[in-house]
Amino acid sequence: MLDDNRLKSMIKNARDGITKRNFTQSAELTLILKDIDVKKGFSINEVVNLPNKITKNSTVCVFASGDMGMRAKKARVDRVVEPEELDRLGTNKKDARKIVKGYDFFLSDTSLMSSVGRSLGQFMGPKGKMPSPLPYGAPIENITERFRGSVRARVKSQLNISAKIGDEKMQDDQLVNNALAVISAIEKKLPQGDKNIHNAIIKFTMSKPSKASVVGEKQ
What integer pLDDT is reported at residue 39 of this predicted model?
A: 84
Query: Where is 101: in which H helix or E strand?
Result: helix 93-102
Distance CA 96, CA 119 (A): 8
The predicted-structure confidence for 29-53, as pLDDT tens digits, reads as follows 999 999 998 888 889 999 999 999 8
| Statement: residue 216 has pLDDT above 90 | no
Cβ contacts of 61 within 8 Å, gap of 6 or more: 77, 78, 79, 80, 81, 99, 102, 103, 105, 106, 107
Cα 26 to the center of its chain, rounded Å: 13
CB 200 within 8 A of CB 165: no
Assessment of whether the complete model's pTM goes beyond 0.85: yes
Cα 162 to the center of its chain, rounded Å: 9
The predicted-structure confidence for 111-168, as pLDDT tens digits, reads as follows 999 999 999 999 999 999 999 999 999 999 999 999 999 999 998 878 999 999 999 9
How does strand 43-49 pair with strand 150-156? antiparallel
> What domains, with CATH codes, occur in the chain?
4-55+151-213 (3.30.190.20), 60-147 (3.40.50.790)
What integer pLDDT is reported at residue 219 of this predicted model?
A: 39
pLDDT-derived band at 218 (thresholds 50, 70, 90) equals very low
Distance CA 165, CA 26 (A): 8
The predicted-structure confidence for 64-120, as pLDDT tens digits, reads as follows 999 999 999 999 999 999 999 999 999 999 999 999 999 999 999 999 999 999 999
CB 214 within 8 A of CB 198: yes
